[in-house]
Structure 1
Amino acid sequence: MSITCISDGLSHAVRDTEIASANSYQNGYYSAVCGHVVTPASMVAPDGQPCRVCAERDPGHEHRCRERR
């Protein structure tokens, strides 16, 4: 899933398992594929520019970002 971070404005790839984990559920932060700790922006806002490192590690990341814009 693509989640835009309010701290850097980039759209990061976050695995479904990370979103569903109890730790993320309790604190509201997610660990992206690139290792960045994501503080999610509003989920109704368009995605920011794709994170280059996430795009390298998750081939479908840029495609998902384009779909949400």
Structure 2
Amino acid sequence: MTAERSNDEAAPDVLTVTSVIDSRAHKVIDSELCAPHAVRSGRYEALCGHLVAPAPLIDADGAPCARCVQLDPTPVAPPARRRRRRGLRRLLPV
């Protein structure tokens, strides 16, 4: 998923996929997920060059791959402002 990244039209969508081989969360460009060779083999090339055999999507992400983080072409989005909801805090006990 593209968490903490901006949706710039020029930048490709980058998804995080955890590999069952090394249990690391690698960055994969969305076009790689649809590439014919990847669809047939079920393995996707990460930004760092690692061939990712994806872990089940219900598993938590592994530790991030440092090389993929360095090579991620999408710009970091500014932190989102969090809206405070006060109405429910008054009605519901903590």
Shorter-chain TM range is: 0.7 to 0.9
Shift of 1:3: 0.4
Shift of 1:59: 5.9
Aligned to 1:13: 27
Give % identity: 37
Q: Does 1:49 align with 2:72?
A: no
Question: Which is helix-richer, 1 or 2?
Answer: 1
Q: Give the letter aligned to residue 11 of structure 1.
A: A
**TM-score w.r.t. length of structure 2:** 0.61
Equivalence map 1:4-43=2 (5 Å):
4-43=18-57
**Partners of 2:73 and 2:63 in 1: CA distance:** 15
Q: Give the letter aligned to residue 32 of structure 1.
A: A
**Partners of 2:42 and 2:73 in 1: CA distance:** 25
- Count of matched residue pairs: 61
**Partners of 2:26 and 2:73 in 1: CA distance:** 12
Shift of 1:48: 0.2
TM-align CA RMSD: 1.5
Shift of 1:44: 1.3
Q: Which runs of 5+ in 2 are unaligned?
A: 1-14, 75-94
**Partners of 2:58 and 2:34 in 1: CA distance:** 19
Q: Give the letter aligned to residue 70 of structure 2.
A: E
Q: Which runs of 5+ in 1 are unaligned?
A: 61-69
Between Structure 1 and Structure 2, whose CA radius of gyration is higher? 2
